[in-house]
């Protein structure tokens, strides 16, 4: 199988926010909110800055070995975990919640980009080692977001009554979803082996973060990817100073609110800080901590603490304190010797709110990289496009706009009435001069009639196009069909679909093709055409 690759600037896709586009362009409105230019970071400087803020590697490696206990590890993973003991080893990281069956396609893209970046940095700086890391946001409690996947044009949802951190939920009750997946992929070349892997990963009796660790390790371990599950007492103990100050002084709220006010002058802000950006995590509960006078309460529970009791609880059970989106990134950078963070547009947006917070605690701010985006064009869709004489990049246009443009460029009829508009404009210019000569008050009336005439020509133009479209029925249907297939729900493929059908069709080679064409530092959307 051969592939052809096209690139399209993010700015031309129509699917990215102005904040993200300005971030990539290093616009002066955005540049104060990050540490390194996203397309021109000097990783030599980044390494030097990271060396000035060492992490507790012994605790990190011990936590990794504990979480991987009982799993079969690829040599590359074992070697990378061992390398993390050395001060000459650094990480490049991406993060995501433990969505069932990995959730969205971009989950794989982020991980593979971290793998590619680590390999590229090793070439540039051979005296160091670089480890790709997937940081699992397993304490997220948004089951509605994490408990569904989109497959074969429909949403499959896990029916469970469990509450709290999704990572801690038991995987019981997933059989109906697995049966639906089986019906979808069993007939595909790699369907049976993938289904067996999914059943092994999500076997009853284990929790979602264990299942996700198993699955991600099985899929990406050969690339040396290290998975970090932060739901760990020893790792959180390293974060106690920050959590203590958060509980007592609400430091993050003040700093991030100031930054948000600056960003909000130009952009829609992403994450809103709470006065205390920590949850209390115990059993099947993950609830906000709030301060009420001289006591601290956990919402929707009976837990309350005095200051003495709260600090004693933090010291004895740091694992019960869970950072929200405002404090999660700095926790990641506290426990990892990290250089770069790879995230989607939404993640980049909230990281831009955090620079002053990192400065307050003297934690190095990483290079922020927008994750690669792909459009995977299968051979059947490509043949359709060729028959239509369209390029895959044309599909980023609105469907109706694309059809109109197609009809206008393939018809022999004069659908665009440019000459007529010019004639009308010339005629009314003459009428305006006559009106001015007779009575200046008539000029406004001439202008109103001109607007009516232009509107009438526009209506005729629309009717001409509508009538001509009927002659292009099969082309219109074909454009609509290929657009619906490659842009499900009028969204980017990667934001809607799951990796399962692609892996079931192509097997591990799917990841190999993606990895080959990933560009870790870029402002280009990547289109892969299967020829």
Q: Is residue 103 part of a domain?
A: yes
Contacts (Cβ under 8 Å, ≥6 apart) of 107: 96, 99, 499
Tokens standing for residue 184: 């979808």
DSSP string, 293-318: TTEEEETTSS-EEEHHHHHHHHHH-G
- 177 and 305 in a single domain? The answer is no
Q: How far apart are CA 480 and CA 406, in angstroms?
A: 12
Per-residue three-class SS string for 331-368: HHHHHCCEEEEEECHHHHHHHCCCHHHHHHCCCCCCEE
460-494 pLDDT tens trace:
666 766 656 666 777 888 999 999 999 999 999 99
Q: How far apart are CA 229 and CA 218, in angstroms?
A: 16
pLDDT-derived band at 417, boundaries 50, 70, 90: low
- 102 and 178 in a single domain? The answer is yes
176-203 pLDDT tens trace:
999 999 999 999 999 999 999 999 999 9
- 477 and 506 in a single domain? The answer is no
- 30 and 127 in a single domain? The answer is yes
Q: How far apart are CA 118 and CA 85, in angstroms?
A: 17
Q: Is residue 504 part of a domain?
A: yes
Q: Is residue 121 part of a domain?
A: yes
- 21 and 32 in a single domain? The answer is yes
Q: Is residue 235 part of a domain?
A: no
Contact 231, 165 (CB under 8 A): yes
- 306 and 213 in a single domain? The answer is no
- 111 and 167 in a single domain? The answer is yes
Q: How many domains does the chain have?
A: 3
Q: How far apart are CA 59 and CA 52, in angstroms?
A: 19
Bridge pairing between strands 295-298 and 226-228: unpaired
- Burial pattern 7-46, b for ≥16 Cβ within 10 A else e, equals ebebbebebbeebbbbbbbeeebbeebbbbebeebebeeb
- 76 and 178 in a single domain? The answer is yes
- 96 and 53 in a single domain? The answer is yes
The proportion of the chain whose per-residue pLDDT surpasses 90, expressed as a percent, equals: 84
Q: Is residue 378 part of a domain?
A: no
Placement of tokens 């970071």 in the chain:
41
Full residue range of the structural domain in which residue 226 is found: 3-230+326-352+362-373+497-530
Residue 413 in this model has a pLDDT that exceeds 80: no
Q: What pLDDT does residue 422 have?
A: 76
- 431 and 339 in a single domain? The answer is no
Contact 93, 131 (CB under 8 A): no
Q: Is residue 480 part of a domain?
A: yes
Nearest to 323 by CA among 396, 271, 372: 271
- 97 and 191 in a single domain? The answer is yes
- 502 and 428 in a single domain? The answer is no
pLDDT higher at 449 or 144: 144
Q: Which burial class, exposed, middle or buried, applies to 152 when counting CB atoms under 10 A from its CB (0-12, 13-18, 19+)? A: middle
Q: How far apart are CA 268 and CA 272, in angstroms?
A: 11
């Amino acid at each position: 199988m051969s592939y052809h690759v096209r690139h399209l600037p993010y700015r031309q896709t129509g699917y990215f926010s102005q904040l993200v586009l300005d971030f990539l362009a290093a616009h002066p409105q955005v540049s104060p909110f990050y540490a390194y230019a996203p397309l021109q970071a000097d990783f030599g400087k980044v390494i030097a800055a990271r060396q000035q803020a060492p992490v507790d590697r012994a605790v990190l490696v011990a936590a990794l070995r504990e979480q991987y206990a009982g799993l079969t590890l690829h040599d590359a993973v074992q070697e990378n975990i061992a390398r993390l003991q050395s001060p000459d080893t650094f990480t490049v990281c991406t993060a995501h919640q433990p969505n069932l069956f990995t959730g969205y396609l971009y989950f794989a893209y982020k991980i593979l980009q971290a793998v590619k970046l680590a390999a590229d940095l090793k070439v540039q700086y051979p005296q160091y080692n670089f480890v790709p890391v997937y940081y699992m946001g397993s304490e997220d409690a948004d089951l509605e977001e994490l408990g569904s996947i989109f497959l074969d044009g429909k949403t499959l949802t896990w029916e469970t009554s469990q509450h709290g951190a999704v990572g801690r939920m038991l995987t019981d009750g997933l059989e109906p979803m697995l049966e639906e997946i089986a019906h979808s992929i069993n007939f595909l070349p790699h369907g049976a082996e993938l289904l067996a892997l999914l059943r092994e990963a999500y076997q009853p009796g284990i929790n979602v973060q264990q299942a996700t660790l198993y699955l991600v390790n099985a899929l990406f371990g050969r690339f040396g990817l290290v998975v970090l599950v932060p739901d760990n007492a020893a790792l959180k103990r390293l974060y106690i100073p920050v959590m203590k100050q958060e509980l007592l002084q609400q430091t993050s709220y003040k700093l991030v609110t100031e930054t948000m006010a600056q960003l909000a002058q130009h952009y829609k802000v992403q994450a809103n800080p709470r006065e205390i950006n920590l949850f209390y995590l115990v059993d099947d509960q993950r609830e906000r901590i709030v301060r009420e006078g001289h006591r601290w309460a956990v919402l929707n529970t009976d837990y309350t603490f005095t200051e003495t009791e709260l600090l004693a609880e933090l010291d004895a059970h740091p694992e019960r304190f869970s950072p929200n989106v405002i404090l999660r990134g700095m926790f990641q950078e506290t426990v990892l010797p990290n250089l770069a963070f790879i995230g989607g547009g939404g993640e980049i947006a909230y990281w831009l709110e955090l620079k002053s917070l990192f400065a307050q605690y003297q934690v190095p701010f990483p290079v922020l990289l927008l994750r690669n985006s792909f459009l995977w064009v299968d051979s059947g869709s490509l043949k359709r496009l060729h028959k239509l004489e369209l390029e895959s990049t044309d599909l980023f246009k609105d469907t109706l706009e694309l059809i109109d443009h197609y009809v206008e460029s393939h018809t022999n009829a004069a659908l665009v009435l440019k000459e007529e508009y010019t004639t009308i404009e010339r005629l009314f210019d003459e009428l305006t001069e006559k009106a001015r000569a007779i009575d200046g008050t008539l000029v406004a009336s001439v202008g109103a009639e001109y607007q009516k005439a232009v509107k009438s020509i526009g209506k005729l133009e629309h009717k001409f196009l509508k009538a001509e479209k009927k002659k292009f029925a099969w082309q219109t249907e074909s454009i609509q069909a290929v657009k619906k297939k490659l842009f499900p729900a009028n969204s980017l493929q990667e934001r809607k679909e799951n990796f399962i059908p692609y892996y079931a069709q192509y097997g591990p080679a799917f990841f190999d093709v993606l990895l080959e064409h990933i560009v870790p530092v870029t402002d280009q959307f990547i289109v892969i055409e299967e020829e």
